[in-house]
């Protein structure tokens, strides 16, 4: 791989949580005005609001925004993020609302009695909860298609109908289209990072145990993570800290000089399309020119994943355990493509599942030793740019593309690591994401690396 210097074009910086907080504190905007602008984008008949949100909680959001404005006007001390509109993936419980998980199967369930812990933490931070976003049914796909409620089209070349990425499809589109300023999602095999990469945003997958999973519909408890989608590394770092009930990391050292990164040669660089390959080469070039040391390494454990998963994955086994009784009475109501993946779990034995858990433990230990000397791994988030929805009508094309789209990001979930996707494409080019990943527990190290990389990789960053 040849690494040469290059320069990213500049553009106007997007509205981040920091700039929005400053504007609210200074009285330049109100929470109600921010909310109304988001609602206007949702209601725009030329937009994707009706496919992005499964529920828009207008009355409650307006009441919340007005309460924040009144408290701020009275001089009451407020959290810095109080009054910023945010969307919530339909996988989470919100008190008084039905959690459908992007499906019709759960539509007749009782409303949640309390907020999920992650939702409650965001509410305590003052975020205005705009509504529930669309998703792949039961979070089981990286493409973002939903036959029940429609699929929000990717902002890139919207008239051509590219996929938004999944499973947190509506979450990403809500932020990309200005219908919210941040989104709560989940990530079992890339479901925050893939839609972020496909829509030019930042998506974060934390070390899983840091954020409680109660109050959300599970896909695979062994792999599920709860993370944000937003417009910058700093936005995701703040949201992650709130979700984990931790102090935010101090992202002060913006230098890449002296940092060591590893690019795995194994698996994750295979079958890259020319746009992703070019953007990745350029991102490495910029990081190298800024002082980063980048080494290519072999990670033979990655090549073993196909054999490890030959009889099914943890997601297959654990999703079938959760869905077995629902499938017995409602199989015909499922998206057939989602149902097919869940039902693979019916063919896995207890011995198969135990072997998966054992293989994962060995994988985590072995890969952890191999990458311990590096600050982070670097890889393309997704090997391809967003495919067109029309090109995925045949099941063969759908499943083949879904497997490829999930390939790189799912490695990190199996590693029980943490990972972030930042945009690496130049302005006007097809969207592509750069992943930085670490072993589990190194979230703060990762955020500092990502913030430094963002300054030189992301087009339009300061």
Q: Tell me which residues are annotated as active site.
A: 89, 167, 191
Report the C-alpha gap between 324 and 319 in whole angstroms. Answer: 8
Report the C-alpha gap between 72 and 62 in whole angstroms. Answer: 15
Using omega within 30 degrees of 0 as the cis cutoff, is the peptide bond preceding 167 cis?
A: yes
267: nearest Cα among 233, 231, 306:
306
Report the C-alpha gap between 226 and 212 in whole angstroms. Answer: 8
Do 176 and 201 contact (CB within 8 A), yes or no?
A: yes
Report the C-alpha gap between 164 and 121 in whole angstroms. Answer: 27
Output the CA torsion sign for 316, 318, 323, 325. positive
The SS3 assignment for 413 reads helix
CB atoms closer than 10 angstroms to residue 401 = 17
Do 53 and 87 contact (CB within 8 A), yes or no?
A: yes
Do 445 and 437 contact (CB within 8 A), yes or no?
A: no
The SS3 assignment for 215 reads coil
Report the C-alpha gap between 398 and 431 in whole angstroms. Answer: 20
Residue linked to tokens 């199967």: 105
Report the C-alpha gap between 189 and 168 in whole angstroms. Answer: 11
Output the CA torsion sign for 331, 336, 341, 346. positive
The DSSP bridge partners found for residue 203 are 229, 421
Do 401 and 190 contact (CB within 8 A), yes or no?
A: no
In which order are the strands placed within the sheet that holds 202-205? 53-56, 128-133, 85-89, 183-187, 225-230, 202-205, 418-423, 433-438, 376-380, 260-264, 293-297
The SS3 assignment for 420 reads strand
């Amino acid at each position: 791989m040849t690494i040469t210097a290059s320069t990213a074009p500049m553009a106007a910086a997007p509205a981040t949580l920091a700039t929005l907080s400053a504007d609210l504190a200074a009285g330049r905007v109100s929470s109600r005005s921010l909310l109304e602008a988001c609602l206007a984008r949702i209601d725009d008949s030329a937009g994707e609001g009706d496919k992005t949100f499964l529920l828009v909680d207008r009355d409650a959001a307006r009441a919340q925004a007005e309460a924040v404005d009144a408290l701020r006007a009275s001089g009451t001390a407020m959290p810095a993020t109080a009054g910023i509109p945010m969307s919530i993936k339909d996988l989470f419980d919100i008190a008084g609302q039905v959690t459908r998980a992007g499906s019709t199967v759960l539509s007749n369930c009782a409303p949640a009695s309390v907020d999920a812990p992650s939702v409650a933490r965001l509410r305590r931070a003052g975020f205005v909860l705009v509504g529930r976003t669309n998703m792949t049914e039961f979070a089981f796909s990286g493409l973002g298609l939903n036959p029940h409620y429609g699929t929000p089209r990717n902002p890139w070349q919207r008239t051509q109908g590219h996929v938004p990425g999944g499973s947190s499809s509506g979450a990403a589109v809500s932020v990309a289209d200005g219908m919210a300023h941040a989104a709560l999602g989940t990530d079992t095999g890339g479901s925050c990072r893939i839609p972020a990469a496909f829509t030019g945003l930042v998506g974060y997958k934390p070390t899983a145990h840091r954020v409680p999973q109660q109050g959300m519909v599970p896909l695979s408890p062994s792999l599920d993570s709860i993370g944000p989608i937003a417009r910058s590394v700093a936005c995701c770092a703040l949201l992650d800290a709130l979700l984990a009930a931790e102090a935010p990391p101090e992202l002060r050292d913006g230098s890449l000089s002296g940092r060591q990164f590893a690019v795995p040669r194994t698996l994750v660089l295979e079958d890259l399309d020319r746009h992703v390959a070019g953007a990745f080469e350029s991102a490495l070039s910029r990081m190298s020119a800024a002082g980063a040391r980048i080494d290519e390494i072999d990670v033979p454990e990655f090549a073993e994943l196909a054999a490890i998963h030959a009889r099914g994955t943890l997601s297959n086994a654990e999703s079938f355990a959760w869905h077995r009784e629902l499938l017995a009475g409602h199989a015909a109501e499922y998206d057939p493509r989602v149902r097919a993946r869940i039902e693979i779990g019916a063919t896995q034995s207890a011995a198969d599942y135990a072997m998966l858990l054992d293989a994962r433990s060995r994988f985590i230990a072995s890969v952890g030793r191999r990458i311990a000397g590096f600050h982070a791994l670097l890889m393309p988030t997704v090997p391809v740019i967003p495919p067109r929805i029309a090109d995925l009508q045949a099941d063969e094309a759908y499943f083949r593309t879904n497997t490829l789209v999930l390939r790189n990001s799912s490695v990190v979930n199996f590693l029980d690591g943490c990972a972030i996707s930042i945009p690496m494409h130049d302005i006007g080019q097809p969207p592509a994401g750069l992943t930085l990943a670490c072993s589990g527990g190194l979230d703060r190290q990762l955020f500092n690396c990502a913030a430094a990389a963002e300054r030189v990789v992301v087009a339009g960053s300061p």
